[in-house]
Amino acid sequence: MGSRLPLYPIYTLSDYYTFALSSQYYQEALELSESMHVRFALEKALKLTHEITIHAFGSDNALAKRLENSLQRMNMNGMKRINKNLDLPVKYNSSIVLKGLLEKIREDPNTRNSLPTALKTTLQPKSINRLLTHVKRKGY
């Protein structure tokens, strides 16, 4: 069967540390995300990393400032509000996932070309049942 990517991405504590500790590579990550047509996903992850940092440590610390500077250099605005009930893991809501997928389909010719085959496979009853089970799960 092979491994499957989650249909509703989850941002975990491990993701936080990965993004927080690799800020020196944000420019390279941005370039890669643009070539792979997934900049939207990178923006969401970096902004969430910034929000978690401010929520946990306040805005007056080196990491928060480094994240803010990186977001500005990449022309991404930082988070404007802090979610008071921020718990990890964060399960992205369906509207964010849908927006990211639509952007990927719109920008990436390889994704557009493989879409009919992917839809044919996904619309099988067994796949629909697995999808519904996956979407309704509480954990990861």
Instruction: Domain ranges for the chain, please list them.
Output: 10-108
Give Cα 52 to chain centroid, integer Å.
Answer: 14
How many Å is the Cα radius of gyration of the chain? 17
Task: Measure the CA–CA gap between 123 and 52, rounded to whole angstroms.
Answer: 37
Q: What is the pLDDT of residues 35-94, one digit of tens each?
A: 999 999 888 888 899 989 998 898 898 888 888 888 887 777 655 555 666 777 887 877
Q: What is the pLDDT of residues 6-17, one digit of tens each?
A: 445 788 899 999
Whole-model pTM? 0.73
Burial class (CB in 10 A: 0-12, 13-18, 19+), 26: buried
